[in-house]
Amino acid sequence: MERPSLVRTTLANGLRVLLAPDRTVPVVAVTVHYDVGMRSEPEGRTGFAHLFEHLMFQGSEQLPKLDHARHVQSAGGLFNGSTHLDYTQYHNVLPSNALERALFLEADRMRAPDLNAENLRVQIDVVKEEIRVNVTNKPYGCFPWVSLPGVLFDTFANAHDGYGSFEDLDSATVEDARQFFDRYYAPANALLTVGGDFEVDEALEMVRRHFEPIPYRPAPARPDFTEPELTAQRRSTRFDRHAPLPAVAAGWRVPDPVGEWAAYLPYLLLTEVMSDGPASRLHRRLVRDGRLATSQRCYLGMLGDPFDAGHPTALVCTARQTPGTSAQQVLDALDEEFARVAADGPGERELRRVAGRLTTRLLLETDAVLARTQALASLELRHGRAELLGELPGLLAAVTADQVRHAASHVTADRRAVVELLPAPRAQEGRAA
């Protein structure tokens, strides 16, 4: 059954609103995307966007800490948030009769979160523990996301570790948090998306009642994160005392996922040709036949979501090597496989297979109300066209073998950044010169 059309409006305070009605299940999802992420952090404040996400769950001027959770969970709902390179999102999923509750809660913290010294101190400790669990005390912790950008990019915005350093986190102040909120959490810098089972007119009336009284503040100018392409290979080495085997990651810059959409999509099909499933070229070359790696992966976007990537971003290949295999052996095999595609292109049957798998995965992943609402919001935020979600299957099927071959011709050794990860005792942990 075809879903109803999307509905858009902008409130007087600048808040953009996107409604995606779908009456097939009695559930609603409410998301708020703020147009600020890790790339917007100033020097000396690494990890601040993620830290501030945590602070937004610590109560408001109207509701004490934990009341947001209590109101959502008592209605049988779920909630969470996440920080990305270019935006921070918050979401709630509830039965459809609790839509107004979710709208009230998001408007409440958009108006005035409780930013105080105790909340800040506690959440700094929580974020530091999250880094210990996910990065420093975990084998291959967030590899290569925390290390590859610093080799692939030059500017602080693109190159720094968005999880943040303990020194920067510890030096954060309540005044920093207030300034960050005033600058980036303005209604005019946000997108409210409602998906699921609701009447459009009723939902719009609720949205206006709860969000329109929030005072207008101007949205900050969006920075230009563009930087020059690589002209020579770059390499770095890191040591991980928890990793049982070495690993290697290579990244190549790709066209702008928004401004050069038509040139970007063939790189997505290329990653699927190279890496998707046991029939893929890199699985056969590196894992099944070559025995050079125990696992491999090839993907678009620094965080692994090709439709959520901003510019600049990268095509990334990673592999965990078998004992006795060097990083260079893996890199040489990558070079040869990309060169084969650049010379001959993928076969038509191969291309249709990966396009079909990619489309099936996309449809399955966005079938649930929350996932679909988040995908619509992300495309609306980046492209101004949430309708792209429904157009993607056709766009992917239209990519040709020649376009994929052309994309592969740019994946060469002289345009890549490489990070080797080596097992090592504690004394050697960190980055080598």
Q: Which pLDDT belongs to residue 250?
A: 98
247-269 residue pLDDT tens = 999 999 999 999 999 999 999 99
Segment 132-152 shows an average pLDDT of: 96
Q: Is pLDDT above 50 for 1?
A: no
Run of H or E residues at 314: strand 314-321
Lowest mean pLDDT among 3-7, 148-152, 341-345: 3-7
> At 102, is the secondary structure helix, strand, or coil?
helix
Instruction: Give the amino acid at 80.
Output: N
Q: Is the pLDDT of residue 79 over 90?
A: yes
pLDDT at 366 over 70: yes
Residues 317-341 have a mean pLDDT of: 98
Q: Does pLDDT of 431 surpass 50?
A: no
Q: Name all domains of the chain by residue range, CATH numbers in brackets.
A: 7-211 (3.30.830.10), 234-432 (3.30.830.10)
Do residues 360 and 367 touch, judged by C-beta distance below 8 A? no
Residue 133 has pLDDT above 70, yes or no: yes
Is a pLDDT exceeding 60 seen at residue 430? no
- Kindly report the three-state secondary structure assignment for every residue of 349-392: HHHHHHHHHHHHHHHHHCCCHHHHHHHHHHHHHHHCCCCHHHHH
Q: Which of 421, 412, 428 is nearest to 146 (CA)?
A: 421
Please choose, from the candidates 164, 66, 79, the residue with its C-alpha nearest in 3D space to the C-alpha of residue 124. Answer: 164
User: Residue 4: what pLDDT?
Assistant: 57
For the stretch 189-234, pLDDT in tens is: 999 999 999 999 999 999 999 999 999 999 999 889 999 889 999 9
Instruction: Examine the pLDDT at 299 and tell me if it is beyond 60.
Output: yes
Neighbouring C-beta atoms of residue 256, cutoff 10 Å:
15
Residue 72 confidence class, pLDDT cut points 50, 70, 90: very high
Is the pLDDT at 132 greater than 90, yes or no?
yes
Note if the pTM is more than 0.85. yes
Residue 432: what pLDDT?
A: 41
Q: Mean pLDDT throughout 85-97?
A: 97
Predicted pLDDT at 426: 54
pLDDT value at residue 3 = 54
